[in-house]
Structure 1
Amino acid sequence: MARSTTPDAPLARFAPTDRLWRLPGVYAPQHDTRLLAAALRHEGSLSGLDVLDIGTGSGALALYAAHLGARVTALDVSRRAVWSTRFNAWRAGLPVDVHRGRIEDLAGRRFDLILSNPPYVPAPHRRPPTRGAARAWDAGVDGRHVLDQLGRAAPALLGPHGVFLLVHSALSGADATLDMLEAAGLRAKVADRELIPYGPVLRSRLGWLRARGLVGPDETMEELVVIRAEHI
C-alpha cells in the first residue's frame, strides 16, 4: 500500500480522470476501490441521485459517481483526504461537496445511494490508530471497528429504496455485516467477490492472523466482498 504525493497510475476503469493526486497518508485506490466502482456502475444511471461517499480518500469513487451524473457528498475524517479530493474534483471539473467529519455529522439528511470503502483490516491493536497512514486500513482486532459504526449509522441516512454499497475483506466477516444490515431493516446480499494476493499489510502480520485462526497456514489470497443493501 504505497503512499506518495505523485499521481496514481491510470485509473480510467473507474474514474473520470486519468490520474488522481493525493497527499502522503491518503489511501491509494486499489483492488477494493475498483471492485466497489464496478458495483456502482452496475446500479445503472445515477443522474439526479444524491450519493454519499463515506471515507472518500483521494475521491476516486466520489468523482466516478459525479461523472455518472449524481449529486455527490464526500466525507472523510482526514484533512489530507479532504484536500486531496477537493483538488481532484476541481481538476476534473466535477461538482463534489467534500466535508471533513464523521457520519454522525450528517444526521437528518437522506441519500439515494451510500458507498463506502472503510478501514477493515484486522490488526493486533484493540483500537485503530487515530493518525498516520494506517488509519486508512487498520480497524481493530476483528476488523469491524468502522464497519459496525457504519452499520449503525448508514441505514438512517438512506431514503426510500436507497442502496448501500460497502466493500471489505472477508477476514472481517461478511456474514456479520449481512446480519447487521438485515437487523437494521435492509435487504442485504453479497453482490460481488474477488480473490487477490495478500498485500504488504497482510503479509506484515501473517503470523498474528494465523495465530488467531483468521487465515490458514498455506493461504496466500484475500477475498474481497461487496455488500449491497437496499432500504425496503
Structure 2
Amino acid sequence: MSNEKFYYNDIIIEVPEEVYYPREDTLLLAKILEKEEIKGKKCLEMCCGSGFLSVLMAKRGGKVVAADINEKAVEATRNNAEKNSVKVDAVVSDMFENIKEKFDLIVFNPPYLPDVDFNLKRENIERQWSGGKTGREVIKKFVKDAKKFLNKNGKIIMIISSLTGENETKELLKKNKFNVKEIAREKIPWEELIVFSITR
C-alpha cells in the first residue's frame, strides 16, 4: 500500500499506514510553532509520528531531535526530513529512554484519548491515540522525566483534549513543579483542543 501524502506550505510529508497522520491537533501546534523563535534552538519533538513538526522546526532553523516508540514513525521521520532537505536526528525511544541531551523547546503531542483497554498489547495504529484509562497515562510518564531534559529557560509546548481532563492535567504538571499557561484553544467535533506552554 502506498503512503498517504500531507502538504503544508512547501513541506510534503509521506505517512505510512501505521503512523499518525497529521490532524487538527498537529495543525494547531504548527500554527503555534510558526510564531515561536526557533532559529538556533535545540528542539525535541516527542511522539513525532510522521515527523511533520520536526521538519517544520528544522526548516525554521532549529537543531531538531525527534523521538517515537514506533519504529515505523522514526523511519518515516528520517525519510521526510531527507525529502524536505532538512536535518532531523530521529531516534526510537520510549519517552526519554534514549534521549541524551537537554533542549530549549520540547513539543509534545501525546496519545491523549481515554481508553479502558490500555494495558492490553497494542498495535501501532491504536497506540497513536490511546492515552490509557484516563487519557493521561502517557502524559504522566513524560512529565515524570521532562524537567531533566529541559534547559533552564526552556519551554514545553503540549497539546491535550478536553476529554483528557484539563484540570487534572494542569494539576499533574503543577505537582511536578512546572508552571503552566494556556496559549491556544480550538473546538473540533466531539472535543476541544487545548495547548499549554510549560516552563520550569
Does the C-alpha gap of structure 1 residues 140 and 77 become closer, same or farther in structure 2, counting only changes over 3 Å? Answer: same
Which residues of 2 match residues 113-152 of structure 1 at below 5 A?
113-127=105-119, 129-152=121-144
Alignment of 1:227 with 2:181, yes or no, is: no
The equivalent position to 1:81 in structure 2, one of 73, 80, 83, is: 73
Inter-partner Cα distance in structure 1 for 2:89 and 2:7? 24
For the aligned residue pairs, the C-alpha RMSD in angstroms reads 1.7
SS in 1 for 2:13: coil
Verify the 8 A CA contact 1:39 1:226 in the aligned structure 2.
Answer: no
Does the C-alpha gap of structure 1 residues 182 and 42 become closer, same or farther in structure 2, counting only changes over 3 Å? Answer: farther
What is the aligned length?
200
Matched with 1:46 is 38
Alpha-carbon shift at residue 181 of structure 1 (Å): 1.8
Runs of 4+ more than 6 Å apart: none
Inter-partner Cα distance in structure 2 for 1:128 and 1:143? 15
SS in 1 for 2:74: helix
Matched with 1:204 is none
Alpha-carbon shift at residue 48 of structure 1 (Å): 0.9
Inter-partner Cα distance in structure 2 for 1:51 and 1:132? 25
SS in 2 for 1:179: helix
Under a length normalisation based on structure 2, what TM-score does the superposition of the two structures give?
A: 0.93
SS in 1 for 2:76: helix
Inter-partner Cα distance in structure 1 for 2:77 and 2:100? 24
Deviations 1:99-157 (A, max 9, x none): 01122324652100000111111113142643230110012121111011111121221
Q: Which runs of 5+ in 2 are unaligned?
A: none
**One-letter code aligned to 2:143:** G
Matched with 2:157 is 165
The structure carrying a bigger strand percent of its residues is: 2
SS in 2 for 1:32: helix
Inter-partner Cα distance in structure 1 for 2:2 and 2:155? 33
Inter-partner Cα distance in structure 2 for 1:167 and 1:71? 22
The equivalent position to 1:35 in structure 2, one of 7, 10, 28, is: 28
Alpha-carbon shift at residue 83 of structure 1 (Å): 0.9
Q: Which runs of 5+ in 1 are unaligned?
A: 198-220
**One-letter code aligned to 2:7:** P
Inter-partner Cα distance in structure 1 for 2:192 and 2:118? 23
Inter-partner Cα distance in structure 1 for 2:121 and 2:182? 28
Q: Which has the larger Rg?
A: 1
Verify the 8 A CA contact 1:32 1:167 in the aligned structure 2.
Answer: yes
The equivalent position to 2:94 in structure 1, one of 94, 98, 102, is: 102
SS in 2 for 1:105: coil
Inter-partner Cα distance in structure 2 for 1:83 and 1:105? 18
Deviations 1:3-38 (A, max 9, x none): x743324222xxx51x21122110000000011112
Alpha-carbon shift at residue 187 of structure 1 (Å): 1.3
Matched with 2:175 is 183
Inter-partner Cα distance in structure 2 for 1:108 and 1:9? 31
Inter-partner Cα distance in structure 2 for 1:117 and 1:147? 9
